[in-house]
Amino acid sequence: MTAGTVLVTGASGYAAQFVVQDYAQRGWQVGATYWSGQEPKFDGNVKVFKVDLASGEGLQSCLDALGPLTAVINCAAQAAPAACEGDGETAARAINIPTQLLAALESHAARHGSRPALVHLSTDHVYEGSSSMYREEAELRPVNKYGRSKADAEAAVAAAWPGHHVILRPSIIFGPPPPNPTRRGQFLQSIDANLAAKKPSTFFDDEWRTPTYVGDLVAACCAAVERCGQLPPSAGERIINVGGPQRINRVDMALALCRVRGYDLQLVQPGSAASVPRTCATPADISMDTSRLQAVLGVQPTPFEEALRQIFAAEK
């Protein structure tokens, strides 16, 4: 695909920074939005905009400045499940269900006479977690408000942008430190810091995930943009799990990190999620089948330990 213009939302967050970098390195014009965090800085032809996607503030001027769009990759969200509960639910739904973005894109498309490909990041938290290796067509029965807001967002995107959208469902996203600091800490870096400090740490052995290497997620976003026009029109076939190839728990993740980093395996102490009071309901097993990721987007997910080797080799 020849370089065009892509709008990436949530560019002060973790995943979006790698998406922005990738497109900028390939010569695209990139619009990158942030809201309450620090303004991120990127190399290349990247214009950064302060936009509140919950209210729509700043969105029109961002779209006007970018002109016709080839693609939009929507990474902005309240992605901390606990923050989507109780008093946080209304604000979380306002950002997670991209009503303002969809409305603004509708008029932008009408003005420019073409619809950009819209890639929307959802989550594995849309699944209930009482089964295993979920396929995309499984019934969505989220156990927390975060998952509910993301399931409702998927429906909103599919209804507003039929035939021009792709929904990606990542699991826990991990990778190297991002170019700009993020407000939320990163899972991998925080356990690495604890184990490097020789702190014995407890990890759950009863919650199962298929963690997503950020490099695979970027590849999935790019492939989704490129192949959006060739996918079947039905909404169900435009949903793609973006997980790693293995169903693992956090003990497995921590032990893999110890092996790659040379930390003492005895620092990893198994514990049960079920025995710890949690701030919100957390699904037990939302591991995902990723055959569609490979068959439809051509992305071969990286095994967890191999991804760790790549991440820490690059740091040396």
Ligand X SMILES: NC(=O)c1ccc[n+]([C@@H]2O[C@H](COP(=O)([O-])OP(=O)(O)OC[C@H]3O[C@@H](n4cnc5c(N)ncnc54)[C@H](OP(=O)(O)O)[C@@H]3O)[C@@H](O)[C@H]2O)c1
Shortest gap between Cβ of 2 and ligand X (angstroms)?
Answer: 27
Which of 11-19, 127-135, 159-167, 304-312 is the region at the interface with ligand X (rule: CB under 6 A)? 11-19
Task: Return the H-helix or E-strand segment holding 304.
Answer: helix 304-315
- Please identify, using beta-carbon distances, which residue of 151 and 231 lies nearer to ligand X: 151
By CB under 6 A, residue 81 contacts ligand X: no
Instruction: Mark residues 172-191: x for contact with ligand X by CB under 6 A, - for none.
Output: xx--------xxx-------
Asked if 36 interacts with ligand X (CB under 6 A), we say yes
Could you say which of 23, 34, 49, 208 contacts ligand X (CB under 6 A)? 34
Asked if 6 and 31 touch (Cβ cutoff 8 Å), the reply is yes
The minimum distance between CB 57 and ligand X, in angstroms, equals: 9
CA quadruple 28, 164, 90, 184: dihedral positive or negative?
Answer: negative
Beta carbons within 8 Å of 115's beta carbon, 6+ residues apart = 105, 109, 161, 164
Using CB under 6 A, pick the residue from 23, 28, 35, 203 that binds ligand X. Answer: 35
Strand partners, 46: 30
Answer for which of 7, 66, 75, 191 binds ligand X (CB under 6 A) is 75
- Nearest CA-CA partner of 286 in 256, 242, 251: 242
Which residue lies nearer to ligand X by CB, 10 or 31? 10
- In three-state form (DSSP H/G/I as H, E/B as E, the rest C), the secondary structure along 210-258 is CCEEHHHHHHHHHHHHHHHHHCCCCHHHHEEEECCCCCECHHHHHHHHH
CB contact at 8 A, 3 and 26: yes
Q: Does 62 bind ligand X (CB under 6 A)?
A: no
Site membership for ligand X, residue 13 (CB under 6 A): yes
Pick the closer one to ligand X by CB: 19 or 251: 19
CA distances from 128 to 123, 299, 307 (A): 12, 25, 27
Q: Does 307 bind ligand X (CB under 6 A)?
A: no
Query: Does 157 help bind ligand X (rule: CB under 6 A)?
Result: no
Asked if 52 touches ligand X (CB under 6 A), the answer is yes
41 belongs to the binding site for ligand X (CB under 6 A)? no
> Which segment (52-60, 157-165, 227-235, 257-265) binds ligand X by CB under 6 A?
52-60
Judged by beta carbon, residue 172 or residue 220, the one nearer ligand X is: 172
Shortest distance in whole angstroms from residue 186 CB to ligand X? 8
Q: Does the protein bind ligand X through residue 76 (CB under 6 A)?
A: yes
The verdict on 121 binding ligand X (CB under 6 A) reads yes
- Is the CB of residue 239 less than 8 Å from the CB of residue 154? yes
DSSP structural state of residue 113: T
Q: Which two tokens stand for residue 18?
A: 């790698």
- Which string of DSSP letters, residue by residue, matches 139-169? PP--SSHHHHHHHHHHHHHHHHSTTSEEEEE
Please tell me whether residue 47 adopts helix, strand or coil conformation. Answer: strand
- Site membership for ligand X, residue 284 (CB under 6 A): no
- Could you tell me how far CA 244 lies from the centroid of its own chain? 13
Q: Is 238 helix (H, G, I), strand (E, B) or coil?
A: helix
Residue 121 or 228: the one with the smaller Cβ distance to ligand X is: 121
Q: Is 72 in a helix, a strand, or coil?
A: strand
- Which residues bind to ligand X, rule: CB under 6 A? 10-16, 34-37, 51-54, 75-79, 95, 121, 123, 170, 172-173, 182-184
